[in-house]
Amino acid sequence: TCDMIGSRDSVTRHRAGQAVDPEEVLQNKIVGLYFSAGWCSPCRDFTPLLCDFYTELLEGAQPPAPFEIVLPAQSWLALGPGAHFKMGKASAMALPFHDPYKHDLKKKYNITAIPKLVIVKQTGEVITDKGRKQIRERGLTCFRNWLEGADVFQNFSN
């Protein structure tokens, strides 16, 4: 069950805009909840690094790494679709803009400042709330530590 996004009927794939089933898409994956905004300069600095990290994990490994990014709605909509969070060939997931659950997520994960990348298990349990710092300092090697803390079945090597 995907407790970190509640019992959502669907979330939206930002790039294509289609609804997806979070149970299916997030099953057996580590999830990065990325709280960000277009007006935030540190967010604009970190987002390309996160995009590269995400793309390399998904496209640079066979099979792709068990990792997904979920954006609460305020993270990208303030800029207009496509302006802020381009993920290469991969598409990040986002809650629908008017979904009030984004406020519950901010409260649940104690988001008081942005950018913030909270790495969670499929259950919503926090692996680390320092995802941004870890990616900046260690790059792809931090993913191995997340895997060890996640109890995710994986056939992933980097």
Q: Where are the chain's structural domains?
A: 32-93+108-117+131-144
Could you tell me the pTM of the whole model?
0.79
pLDDT at res. 91: 66
Can you tell me the mean pLDDT for 27-55? 89
Instruction: Answer whether the bond into residue 115 is a cis peptide, omega within 30°.
Output: yes
Look at 114 and 83; give whichever has higher pLDDT: 114
Query: Which pairing describes strands 126-128 and 67-71: parallel, antiparallel, or unpaired?
Result: unpaired
> Which of these, 57, 75, 56, lies nearest to 117 by C-alpha position?
75
Can you tell me the mean pLDDT for 100-117? 87
> Which of these, 5, 69, 71, 9, lies nearest to 36 by C-alpha position?
71
Can you tell me the mean pLDDT for 91-120? 82
pLDDT at 155 over 80: no
Say if residues 71 and 86 touch (Cβ distance below 8 Å).
Answer: no
- Is residue 145 classed as helix, strand or coil in its secondary structure? helix
Strand-by-strand arrangement of the 93-94 sheet: 19-20, 11-13, 93-94, 67-71, 30-35, 116-120, 126-128
pLDDT at 97 over 80: no
- Is residue 146 classed as helix, strand or coil in its secondary structure? helix
Look at 28 and 154; give whichever has higher pLDDT: 28
pLDDT at res. 84: 39
pLDDT at res. 87: 52
Can you tell me the mean pLDDT for 143-153? 80
Can you tell me the mean pLDDT for 41-59? 89
pLDDT at res. 70: 84
Structure tokens at 5: 């996004």
Determine the Cα–Cα distance for residues 45 and 131; give it in Å rounded to an integer.
15
